[in-house]
Amino acid sequence: MREKDRAEKRELARRRASELKAAIGDYLEARGLIPDGMACWDEIKKRQEKIKKYFHAGDKEWYDWQWQVKSRIESVETLAELLDLPDNKVREIKKVAGTYRYAVSPYFLSLISPGDMTDPIFLQAVPRQEELADSEGVEDPMAEEYTSPAQSVIRRYPDRLVIYVTNQCASYCRHCQRRRYIGKADRTTSRENLREALNYVKENEEIRDVLLTGGDAFMLDDELIDWLLTELDKIGHVEIKRLGTRTLSTLPMRVSDNLCRILEKHWPVYVNTQFNHPLEVTPEVEEACKKLTRAGVSLGNQAVLLKGINDNAHVMKKLNHCLLEVMIRPYYIFHAKAVKGTAHFRTSVETGIEIMEKLRGFTSGLAVPTYIINAPGGYGKIPMLPKYLLSLGDDKVIIRTWENRVLEYDNHE
């Protein structure tokens, strides 16, 4: 009888396993059709050779992050030649560039498939005429100018704040939340203003967490990063330091050995980055992440939900899987903010919740970030969740599982 029971249980387990496999059958079929930077690396390397030849550069220059920054593509003629752009697109870019600045690092440009105007990297990096047609967006949807109690400080929460350190990025994303700061020239926040920000932190003992961002914190030179982290280390109530950067995606060669030595000195350090599509996760990214994690740096990703780029559950799931393979923890999916010039990127909130429905339970918890809307007026992040709690009683709660099974659960203390 016992052997028979075991056989029946094993058979039930096998049936259940078949059900679970079927539940992700659509993703298993779709994932091979979603391009990623690892699988496309040979093609990307060919494009890099073309770009190096155009700039008369070799590997020494290519892997020098400062050369990459100096060589950012800001000329529409260069874009046209390297990306095989038609004349109407050239005219469109010139028109948009009169209002909104753009720049693309040679490395990030190499991820774009020339001639493909729907390429997810192209859509993030190259101006579009839709930027000029946005009549709904505002320049500062998060009211940062009204949440800045000191120079270069943004504070929206009780125990943490942001120090704005530069307006510079390796590439200027077309969906940027702070495009009003980009201007026509790169500017690093002055030491005087940084000291004022640090003094504000010193004077407010409840601040335990400081985020250095911009722009991109990794666009600062090594000496200035070291100075800022040293000054924060001197403030006894500051427990952790965070740096916001997209260079892991747009300029992974920025993660030099010297930068890692600096970050290792100031443990604990957290780096928040932004990857929005699996094409951005390449062997170069993997190498940069290895260096950072060996230096004791914790990595988290803050994706932005973008129409035509990652507003698809399969794309988002594959992105999160690719990130985990290089030791980046998916942390947030941000609903695109109502920034002027970015309306064409925004999706409905329902789209984001549908994506979350296809992540929770369908993949490991490590691959499930929190979907966030930033409240207007600078009132902070609000998680958007599928409804799993259906009713709440004194003795029982009614809950819904990721498979839409509705169950009773005891609610006793």
The label of the residue with tokens 């914190």 reads 217
Give a yes or no: residue 237 inside a domain.
yes
Give a yes or no: residue 282 inside a domain.
yes
Are residues 153 and 47 located together in one domain of the fold? Answer: no
Are residues 413 and 291 located together in one domain of the fold? Answer: no
Bridge partner residues of 299 (DSSP)? 271
Distance CA 213, CA 215 (A): 6
Bridge partner residues of 333 (DSSP)? 303, 371
Are residues 241 and 280 located together in one domain of the fold? Answer: yes
Which domain CATH number covers 277? 3.20.20.70
Distance CA 401, CA 413 (A): 22
Please give the radius of gyration of the chain, using alpha carbons only, rounded to the nearest integer. Answer: 23
DSSP 332-354: EEEEPP-BTT-GGG---HHHHHH
Are residues 245 and 366 located together in one domain of the fold? Answer: yes
CB 344 within 8 A of CB 307: yes
Are residues 9 and 49 located together in one domain of the fold? Answer: no
Token pair recorded at residue 393: 């009683």
Give a yes or no: residue 136 inside a domain.
no
Are residues 361 and 250 located together in one domain of the fold? Answer: yes
Give a yes or no: residue 187 inside a domain.
yes
Are residues 53 and 101 located together in one domain of the fold? Answer: yes
Are residues 353 and 392 located together in one domain of the fold? Answer: no
Least Cα distance to 66 among 201, 253, 236, 235 occurs for 253
Token pair recorded at residue 400: 């819904």
Give a yes or no: residue 127 inside a domain.
no
Are residues 201 and 56 located together in one domain of the fold? Answer: no
Q: Identify the domain containing residue 72 by its residue range.
A: 41-114
Give a yes or no: residue 8 inside a domain.
yes
Measure Cα distances from 13 to 28, 116, 217, 364 in Å.
21, 47, 50, 20
Digitized pLDDT (tens) for each residue of the chain, 413 residues in all: 588 788 899 999 999 999 999 999 999 999 999 999 999 999 999 999 999 999 999 999 999 999 999 999 999 999 999 999 999 999 999 999 999 999 999 999 999 999 999 999 999 999 999 999 988 888 888 878 889 999 999 999 999 999 999 999 999 999 998 888 887 789 999 999 999 999 999 999 999 999 999 999 999 999 999 999 999 999 999 999 999 999 999 999 999 999 999 999 999 999 999 999 999 999 999 999 999 999 999 999 999 999 999 999 999 999 999 999 999 999 999 999 999 999 999 999 999 999 999 999 999 999 999 999 999 888 899 999 999 999 998 889 999 999 999 999 998 77
Give a yes or no: residue 125 inside a domain.
no
Angle between helical axes of 76-83 and 41-54 (0-180°, round to 10): 140
Please give the tally of structural domains in the chain. 4
Helices (H) and strands (E) in the chain, counts: 16, 12
Are residues 148 and 15 located together in one domain of the fold? Answer: no
- The alpha carbon of 336 is separated from its chain's Cα centroid by a whole number of angstroms, namely 12
Are residues 204 and 335 located together in one domain of the fold? Answer: yes
Are residues 273 and 312 located together in one domain of the fold? Answer: yes
Give a yes or no: residue 123 inside a domain.
no
Neighbours of 354 (CB within 10 A): 15
Neighbours of 404 (CB within 10 A): 7
DSSP 206-217: T--EEEEESS-G
